Amino acid sequence: MRKLFAPLLVLTAVMFAYAPVVIANTRYESTMFLVQKIFYFHFASWMAWAAAIGVCGIASAVYLFRADPRGDRLAVAGAELAILFGAFGLVTGSLWGRKAWGVWWQWDARLTMALMAELIFVGYLLVRKYGGPGAEKLAAGMGIFGAATTPFIYKSVDWWRTIHPQTSVVRNLGETAPDMYGAMLFCTVAFLLLFASLLTVRVHLESRRAELDRLYLALEDQP
């Protein structure tokens, strides 16, 4: 992993550097004009967010059933990144809403739900911090259940009458506007790579912390 990290970082940086060019080259959307360009990062950040939640849920289950501390480190990194990318998605979504709907915050179902999902992972960090000794396990439960509830949150959007662009927009984009579709894919890959790099760094930090704790205890054991 360490060998792969430098190329990963370089690739991510290059893709982010090139992303504005890709986005600038797409056509102007007929009603939203310039603001529509937010969409490329908006959509991409939600993809990274979904990946972060998936990682947190699966890693929590691994920690819970295998008692492998690496699972716990991965889960906490996933939860923090879910909050980060979720916040990014909410801000870009809010900017979009200002232009499209004329208000910063519309009680649109998907935005509301995203905020709720955001709360779950803030709750995850809270239980880690204030849950007392052994809170990692409680947090693991939260991680699994949080990841499991997200699809339900997502699904209820389609059923609640919503003003959010429907998910089918993304599907149709491939046929109606291939340049937009390409830019969207490009940004999604860039965000997923950013997610992977941040995850690696965060997990590494957490392992270092564990190593430090171990050394500290070993030092105490010295006569």
* Interface contacts to other proteins, rule CB under 8 A: 61, 64-65, 67, 113, 116-117, 119-120, 123, 126-127, 130-135, 137-138, 140-142, 144-146, 148-149, 152-153, 155-156, 159-160, 213, 216-217, 221
The residue to which tokens 């979720």 are assigned: 86
131 touches 138 (CB < 8 A): yes
In the complex with other proteins, which residue's Cβ is closer, 32 or 125? 125
CB of 24 to other proteins, least distance (A): 38
CA angle 151, 154, 157 (to 5 degrees): 150
The residue to which tokens 């992977």 are assigned: 196
Q: Which is nearer to other proteins, 107 or 176 (CB)?
A: 107
Are the beta carbons of 93 and 101 closer than 8 angstroms?
no
Neighbours of 219 (CB within 10 A): 8
For other proteins, the closer CB: 7 or 132: 132
- Name which of 112, 46, 123, 45 is nearest 79 in CA terms: 123
The number of residues in the chain equals: 223
Q: Residue 80 CB, nearest distance to other proteins (Å)?
A: 16
| Least spacing, CB of residue 132 vs other proteins, in Å | 5
Amino acid at 12: T
What's the min distance (Å) between Cβ of 208 and other proteins? 13
Residue type present at position 188 = T
Choose between 108 and 194: whose C-beta lies nearer to other proteins.
Answer: 108
Measured CA angle at 162 (ends 157, 163), to 5 deg: 135
Q: How far is the CB of 195 from other proteins (least distance, A)?
A: 22
Looking at the Cβ atoms of 94 and 156, the one nearer to other proteins is 156
